[in-house]
A and B are shown apart, each in its own frame.
Chain A
């Protein structure tokens, strides 16, 4: 099936000590490794070695890692990326701690993607033998997993075609200038499976990060997360609210370096044969923030 999920998000932070406090004590991630100016984390319901990497120095995205089902998927994606006109380099086991051989390329949106098949299996915090529902001593929000990301690109339509051709992703929802077949794509929400989106791309500058998101179960957990953000003086950008697009329940907030994070719950099941939802600009406010029905200034201008 090719790409299974966004395996890791590797981001820059200006102050590693503050970032560690946020991701470990507010978000509840588990530190699995540290070397030099980098720290590696996993969430409690993830089994691979890490899903978040923090690197001290700057802000914004270093790269995303995408985990594929079979090792042959790496070769397949390499060929497709080359056919799309992208230069692909090989990466070897250990270039990322506990991650196997793979490929690396820069997308038409100028983001760095890595594709890999092997990661050291650490196991979830509840194990696989008669597992309990959740770990008893979660810290802070206690997010179970990394979920998705939103990036910006000058041409989201090009990224839609790129992700379709190279990753076999399909769009679940789009924002278009109109319903006409020749309309411009302003934003696209894409996935490879039933998850409502793994990566969304919004019109904006090349190579920028809008946010990366952690999964939560429901409204109650989203509300509790927002309470914890107030307790920990985490700046909330918006929420708790719902996205019209994806129907997810959300809080947007910022890490101590100003990278936007999200907690995201719900979202309906995606299928390849489900007709895509299309949003047009006059309802974009409602599409993004279903209750305020107004785009705040920060949504399109605050990026790292």
Chain B
């Protein structure tokens, strides 16, 4: 149950397993500059300050250079968190465009955290 923390505000978003960073943020009521949403244009790059992610599709060399595959660059429309992530947007901030979706995401996160805490006290180490 990965979370994505958005710097510099420290906003924490809850993602479903397998969900991309972009779709998670959108689903939580946030917006930022995106284009194709399919890994082709490179507009949605953010910096990953901590945590691990993988790409759920092949990404073209014209979109991510060799250097960008090694540094903090995260192509948000194709990146699926492997652990909790902290990201920072480039040259802009996320805009909260729907407080309603934001509240729903917040509740989902609280439920997931409560569930995780409950399973932990029950002695299981199972983690999604």
B33: nearest chain-A partner, CB-CB: A297
B-contacting residues, A237-286, CB 8 Å: 237, 254-260
Whether the pair A58, B43 counts as a contact (CB closer than 8 A) is no
A297: nearest chain-B partner, CB-CB: B33
The yes or no answer to B71 lying at the interface (CB within 8 A) is no
Whether the pair B35, A12 counts as a contact (CB closer than 8 A) is no
Chain A interface mostly: loop
- Which residues on A sit within 8 Å (CB–CB) of B59? 14
- Which residues on A sit within 8 Å (CB–CB) of B41? 258, 298, 301-304
Nearest chain B CB to A152 CB, angstrom units:
12
- Which residues on B sit within 8 Å (CB–CB) of A258? 35-41, 63
Whether the pair A14, B60 counts as a contact (CB closer than 8 A) is yes
The yes or no answer to A235 lying at the interface (CB within 8 A) is yes
Interface string of B18-53 (1 = CB under 8 A from A): 000000000000000111111111010000000000
A255 to B40, CA, bound (A): 9
Interface string of A1-38 (1 = CB under 8 A from B): 00000000000101100100000000000000000000
- Which residues on B sit within 8 Å (CB–CB) of A235? 36-38
A302 to B43, CA, bound (A): 7
A60 to B61, CA, bound (A): 11
A258 to B58, CA, bound (A): 12
The yes or no answer to B115 lying at the interface (CB within 8 A) is no
- Which residues on B sit within 8 Å (CB–CB) of A304? 36, 40-41, 60, 62
A259 to B43, CA, bound (A): 13
Given contacts A257-B40, A298-B43, A303-B41, contact A58 B60 (CB under 8 A): yes
Most buried by B among A12, A301, A302: A302
Q: Between A and B, how many residue pairs show CB distances below 8 Å?
A: 67
Whether the pair B57, A302 counts as a contact (CB closer than 8 A) is no
User: What is the size, in residues, of chain A's interface with B at 8 Å between Cβ atoms?
Assistant: 23
Most buried by A among B35, B39, B60: B35
Given contacts A59-B40, A303-B41, A304-B40, contact A298 B35 (CB under 8 A): yes
- Which residues on B sit within 8 Å (CB–CB) of A301? 35, 41, 43
Interface residue from B34, B35, B39, B43 paired with A14 (Cβ < 8 Å): B39
A18 to B57, CA, bound (A): 10
- Which residues on A sit within 8 Å (CB–CB) of B38? 235, 254-258
A301 to B35, CA, bound (A): 8
- Which residues on B sit within 8 Å (CB–CB) of A237? 35-36
Given contacts A15-B58, A304-B62, contact A259 B40 (CB under 8 A): yes
Whether the pair B37, A254 counts as a contact (CB closer than 8 A) is yes
- Which residues on A sit within 8 Å (CB–CB) of B61? 58
A255 to B34, CA, bound (A): 15
A57 to B41, CA, bound (A): 15
Given contacts A59-B40, A302-B43, A303-B41, contact A257 B33 (CB under 8 A): no
Nearest chain A CB to B26 CB, angstrom units:
11
- Which residues on B sit within 8 Å (CB–CB) of A256? 38
**Besides A14-B39, A258-B36, A302-B36, 4 other CB < 8 A contacts?**
A235-B38, A237-B36, A257-B40, A258-B63
